[in-house]
Amino acid sequence: MATPNIEIYTWSRCPFCIRAKALLDQKSVDYTEYCIDGDEDARDKMAERTHGKRSVPQIFVDGQHLGGCDDIYGLDQRGQLDQLLAAGQA
């Protein structure tokens, strides 16, 4: 059983990043965090992956862009986040 590759781009003091990571922690999933505080090259790379979005956090599951904090909380409220987080476990 493979686990999904979850990635999150953050700023260390961003309240939305902290909330998004708290939700992922609550789901007991492992993720890779890219803290890009003040690193414009890293932000540019993130923006390429998000088709121009430069705000943080930006979350990916198995390369699929889910969006930011409000997006993953919305997915969770609709009962869709658990499916995405478990997708790699099929």
Q: What domains sit in the chain, N to C, each tagged with a CATH number?
A: 6-85 (3.40.30.10)
Amino acid 89: pLDDT = 47
Residue 1 — very low, low, confident or very high, per pLDDT cuts 50/70/90? low
**Which pTM value belongs to this model?**
0.91
pLDDT tens column, 20-37: 999 999 999 999 999 999
pLDDT tens column, 34-66: 999 999 999 999 999 999 999 999 999 999 999
Element (H, E) at 59: strand 58-61
Integer Cα distance of 46 and 29 in angstroms: 21
